[in-house]
Amino acid sequence: MARLTNRTALVTGGSRGIGRGIAERLAAEGALVAVHYGSDDSAAKETVAAIEAAGGRAFAIRAALGVDGDVETLATALETGLREYTGEARLDILVNNAALGDTGPEGESVAGFDRLFAVNVRAPYFLIRRLLPLMGAGGRIVNIGSAVTRIALPGELVYAMSKAAVTTLSRNLANEVGPRGITVNTVNPGPTRTERTAFVFDRPEAQAMMAASQAIERVGMPADIASVVAFLASEDAGWITANTIDATGGSYLGPKSLGA
């Protein structure tokens, strides 16, 4: 796999979970990957080390999102890293993955609502605006949405609203930057086993429930989402833009049988 040789990529929230899976896959395909993270230094170092051990190239960028100056902090560090590794501040692939999940009653407070939207919507919007000058023809923007924009789940209301905004962002931005040869798409993961969700999805009863609600009868893994992102980041996807890819394995499509 070398579809992304000589390409550069930024994956926000790239040190753990789905973000790490995406970062590792893009690096395996040949891209130099900037692994953004918010606060967990050890997780970021581990991700970069894993990429390098597999023969890839990566560097870490620490920047808290949802605070004043977040985008400029991230963008400045990215430009510095890109120049160090490539000699120029050119970005080919931007994956907006970093996000907060719904926080239940706390998320329904004004402060919680604003915090979630600051990270999930404001940050990717202004990061795109800040980094677009670094992108040329063939650039790829992939925003990570969520299946909760299609599936109504308890406790996910504010999160679902924020991810719906991301989907709208992708579609409208694609029309704006299309003349520059840049594509913009959204990938919507479904139930996915990560470090944070393992305590749920590793239970036999949860696996059985997932199998019953999935067309493909298993829980998703970060690699499943990363494969879709890697395709959208490649030249093969140059004619695909303004789309939302449901990468859920067919979650909650309805009954598989009407019975006897």
State how far the Cα of 31 lies from the Cα of 27, in Å rounded to an integer: 5
Beta bridge mates, 188 = 246
Cβ atoms 251, 221 nearer than 8 A: no
Helix/strand/coil for 255: coil
- Say which residues have a Cβ less than 8 Å from residue 110's Cβ, sequence separation at least 6: none
Cβ atoms 26, 57 nearer than 8 A: no
Say how many CA atoms lie within 13 Å of 105 toward its Cβ.
0
User: What single string gives the DSSP state of each residue in 180-198?
Assistant: GT-EEEEEEE-SB--TTTH
Beta bridge mates, 34 = 10, 59
- Given CA atoms 17, 127, 74, 32 in this order, what sign does their dihedral have? positive
Q: Which residues are catalytic?
A: 159
